[in-house]
A and B are shown apart, each in its own frame.
Chain A
Amino acid sequence: MIRVENLTRSFGAVRAIDGVGFEAQDGRITGLLGPNGAGKSTTLRILYTVLRPDAGVAQIDGIDVAADPLATRRAIGVLPHAAGIYPQLTGRENIAYFGELHGLGGPRLTGRIEELVAELEMEGYAHRRARGYSQGERVKVALARALVHAPRNLLLDEPTNGLDVMATRALRALILKLKAAGHCVLFSSHVMQEVAALCDDIVIIDHGRVVASGTPKTLLAQFGAATLEDAFVAAIGDARGLE
């Protein structure tokens, strides 16, 4: 479970996020939706401990992210915005490297890697070096290395970026599977359809603030909109109108 309260972070004079707050429950998929530059990545980066917040609280399974980053990292799997992998290592070795850094080893790690390779349908290329991988293959390896230590919480920053239709569908299926297994999945996107297709809860962010949140149903009702897209536009329009 992820809980964020009044989170604030500035870069120089620019306030990237300004009092962001939301919750993401276990066994549910939560989407961070917002235009480019809204503060989605900054929020996620604070949650996965590469940035520190100026103020506010971010907790993962009750662990304060800023106070105990190492414990936080054990509890999360991360697919960052730039999900590069090592070109000279094979797919399996890429995953194994992160598994080892998470303290796994021996037959347990190999077993886990084979599990992931099967689950993500990487049998065809996981033994090859990664330098010739397609974007979709790279994202799958990056996802597998995020899952290698079987974390309860999953943070995905625009995971479908650069994926073709088939890869996107496979990713969706995987995310739904993780949800069914009781994981807490938080992912960011600026693509409405993406969020509409997957999310149980939606948090709409604009200019570093949460402008609306709730289930798709409550959002439709709140803005009297027929589609989520209308609701999204209305939410962001409202927020901009208020400034």
Chain B
Amino acid sequence: MSAVMRIVMLKELRESLRDRRTLLTSLVLGPVFAPLFFILVLKLALARSVAVQDEAVPVTVANAAAAPNFVQALRESGLTVTLRDGDDAGIRSWISGSDGLVVLRVPGDFGDRFSSGEPAVILLYADGANAQAERYAARVQQAIASYAATIAGLRLQARGISPAVVQPIVVDSVDVSTPSARATLLLGMLSYVILVVTLLGGLYLAIDATAGERERGSLEALLTVPATREQLIRGKIAASAAMMSAALALVTIATAVALRQVPLETFGMSANFGPDVAWRVFLAVLPFALVGASLLTVVASFTRSYKEAQSWLGVVMLVPTVPIAIAGVLDLQPQAPLMLVPSLSQHFVIQSLMRGDPLPAAWIALSVAGTLALGLLLAWVAGNLYRREAILGG
């Protein structure tokens, strides 16, 4: 590292570390809150899937005396039935005064219609805007439909017709998803969180050191010191990369700590994010800081103002997530050529480390080499951009 590069890097870091707002966004909000938020979502998803599976569905039946067999059938299908008397207005007031109550009202002529073979009406009351009531209502309807199908079958048989006649097609859906599979899907998004938070760490420094320096009018003076512009810009990239590395270190630590709060073992998953894995994740993603810092610096160098840089970089921040998203859609598995793709290769490495199923060392080397190569190329582009006179703007 040349003396100029070191001087510029230290000055940019010192400035960033003194700006409380920058510091907060770069090293606190992103690295600490992103994993916490993520873990919270994960925890909720897990808790919910457990709850939904073993949930007892309550249903209140009004005027149950008119349909004793029907109520019995509901009980047999596992619903928790409560009997209560009330009319339409009463039922509405019960629902509005409770959370997620589902009520069935049996009209007085239910028994007559049922025994004469006419469609007998049951009224189902539920608050459609309440997610829990919606779920309960669906379960109740399922129970009623299966009871109705049984009755229909019996009636057909009584008339000498096989019930199978009215069932030309039967759909038997097999749900293979398990809570732990859903959690794995969520955990797959952890790479996004880590990569984006890493980028965010150096974002403000990259803008401040380029578009910001130009806008404040200190760039012209800086360009009159006896150093080449490449040296100056390399110092700025190094400073941004250093901030990204710090953000990366914090986010891996925060993730390791937060993931311990999730009982992944109960779903047959190993919560493989201990100190050793966190350290390896840090090392695997570290070269990505160079790509990020150079990329953001190149883009910020094109923009004319701090504001413009901010809006552009907001979009550029999403670029590294594109390879991961494409790989996800195409269901690509790790393989040697793909390890050359920055961000995607880090995603693969993180995933494999969390599964406790490490990738071959040669593939890791490919990831590091491919990422560093792109980083150096972008740094070179940034140097060339700074050689142009137009960099002064205006």
B286 to chain A, nearest CB (A): 27
Specify which of B217, B218, B222, B224 lies most central, judged by the most chain A CB atoms within 10 Å of its CB: B224
- The size bracket of the interface on B is 20 to 34
Which residues of A lie under 8 Å from residue B224 when comparing CB positions?
48-50, 73, 76, 78, 80
Q: Across the two chains, which residue of chain A brings its CB closest to B223? A: A50
Contacts A82-B217, A100-B7; A70 near B389 (Cβ below 8 A):
no
B19 touches A73 (CB 8 A): no
Would you give the 0/1 interface string for A73-85, flagging 1 where the beta carbon is closer than 8 Å to chain B?
1101011111111
A-B contact count (CB 8 A): 77
A102 and B225 CA atoms in complex are apart in Å by 6
A73 touches B226 (CB 8 A): yes
A128 in contact (CB, < 8 A): no
Contacts A51-B389, A83-B217; A74 near B18 (Cβ below 8 A):
no
B221 touches A78 (CB 8 A): yes
B80 in contact (CB, < 8 A): no
A223 in contact (CB, < 8 A): no
Residues facing B in A37-83 (CB within 8 A) are: 45, 48-52, 70-71, 73-74, 76, 78-83
A48 and B221 CA atoms in complex are apart in Å by 9
A89 touches B14 (CB 8 A): yes
B220 to chain A, nearest CB (A): 4
Which residues of B lie under 8 Å from residue A78 when comparing CB positions?
220-221, 224
A102 touches B226 (CB 8 A): yes
Which residues of A lie under 8 Å from residue B8 when comparing CB positions?
101
B155 in contact (CB, < 8 A): no
B221 touches A101 (CB 8 A): no
Give which listed residue, B3, B11, B221, contacts A83 with CB less than 8 A.
Answer: B221
A142 touches B19 (CB 8 A): no
Which residues of B lie under 8 Å from residue A85 when comparing CB positions?
216, 218
Q: Across the two chains, which residue of chain A brings its CB closest to B224? A: A78
B96 in contact (CB, < 8 A): no
Give which listed residue, B11, B18, B217, B219, contacts A97 with CB less than 8 A.
Answer: B11
A146 in contact (CB, < 8 A): yes
Give which listed residue, A51, A79, A83, A88, contacts B18 with CB less than 8 A.
Answer: A88
Specify which of A50, A73, A76, A129 lies most central, judged by the most chain B CB atoms within 10 Å of its CB: A50
A65 and B225 CA atoms in complex are apart in Å by 14
Contacts A73-B226, A86-B15; A50 near B7 (Cβ below 8 A):
no
Residues in chain A within 8 A of chain B (CB atoms) = 45, 48-52, 70-71, 73-74, 76, 78-89, 93, 97-98, 100-103, 129, 142, 145-146
Write 6 A-B pairs (CB below 8 A) sorted by A numbering: A71-B226, A78-B221, A88-B16, A97-B11, A101-B8, A142-B221
